[in-house]
Amino acid sequence: MSTPAPGDPPLTGAGCSAWAQPHQLPADVQELHPVATLCELLALATDVLWAASGRRWRGYTGSDTVTMDAAQPHCPPLRWWAPAWHYGPSWPFFRSPSRPHKVRLPRPDVTAITAVTLRGAPFVGWRREGNWAVRTDQHPWPLGDGAASITYDYGRPAPAAGVRACALLAAELAKAGASRKCALPARTTSVAREGVSFEVLDPREFLDDGLTGLLAVDLWIKAVNPHGTRQAAQVWSPDLTTARRA
């Protein structure tokens, strides 16, 4: 989500790991809070919209390098016709669960693998399958000794309209935090003024529907997630070792 993982830049200035950045907020809103506070409000708005849009765009993009010590191996279940005997010169057709041919990279939403090294030298005998790195030379990855490393890009930035919605929501949160008049719905259900009575919807009704009460923001949420899906769709088949997003 928007919460930065270890190694991500801190929540200051352009390092905000949110859909929008402080400079995308209106000028009068930027003056209400320090940059660090604006980053926190943008992160809050990102989390809200990330969940409301069906958890489709995590937002932060970057690059990371991981050694095989930190990668998660894929150990297929044992089958009677292919026992998991130790992989070695005398048994070239059997795989060892402790020396996998497939490892999952730690961060989600991997977009590309940019470099792979094996014992300090560039290595090309691999392919990417979603968030997994698979060897194609019929040999296992070396684990535990840091002999292999993978550099990869990750992240799923929100569309331009989602960035705008994030900025709008964060701006209203900033106004409310500074005790300024904002467009966020109040928890008032009826008002009588100068003999005229009217009702205001309770914001909990919007929250139950996965909305915010801000017209422009809710229009975007309904456009990208009309059925209120809670998470991105997945499909699984007995032929697949891991679930794939669709």
Quick one: 175 and 204 in the same domain? Answer: yes
Residue numbers of the domain that contains 31 = 13-59+158-224
- The number of domains in the chain is 2
Q: Are residues 172 and 189 in the same domain?
A: yes
Q: What's the predicted TM-score (pTM) here?
A: 0.63
Same domain, 181 and 132: no
**Which positions ≥6 away from 44 have C-beta within 8 Å?**
170, 173
Spatial strand order in the sheet of 102-104: 72-73, 102-104, 132-135, 126-129
End-of-domain residue from the set 154, 171, 199: 154
DSSP state of 68: T
pLDDT per residue rounded down to tens, the chain (246 residues): 444 443 443 333 445 778 999 999 999 999 999 999 999 999 999 999 998 998 888 777 788 888 876 555 554 443 333 333 333 343 343 444 456 888 888 887 888 999 999 888 999 999 999 889 999 988 888 876 678 899 999 888 899 999 999 999 999 999 999 988 888 776 655 666 677 766 665 555 666 677 888 889 999 999 998 888 877 666 655 555 554 444
Q: Measure the CA–CA gap between 245 and 229, rounded to whole angstroms.
A: 14
- Res 128: pLDDT: 93
The whole-number pLDDT of residue 68 equals 75
Residue 199 located in a structural domain: yes
**What is the pLDDT, as a whole number, of residue 3?**
43
In a domain, 236, yes or no: no
Q: Hey, which bits of the chain come out as E strands?
A: 62-67, 72-73, 102-104, 110-118, 121-122, 126-129, 132-135, 148-154, 191-193, 196-198, 234-235, 244-245
Q: Are 146 and 67 found together in one domain?
A: yes
- In a shared domain, residues 87 and 20: no
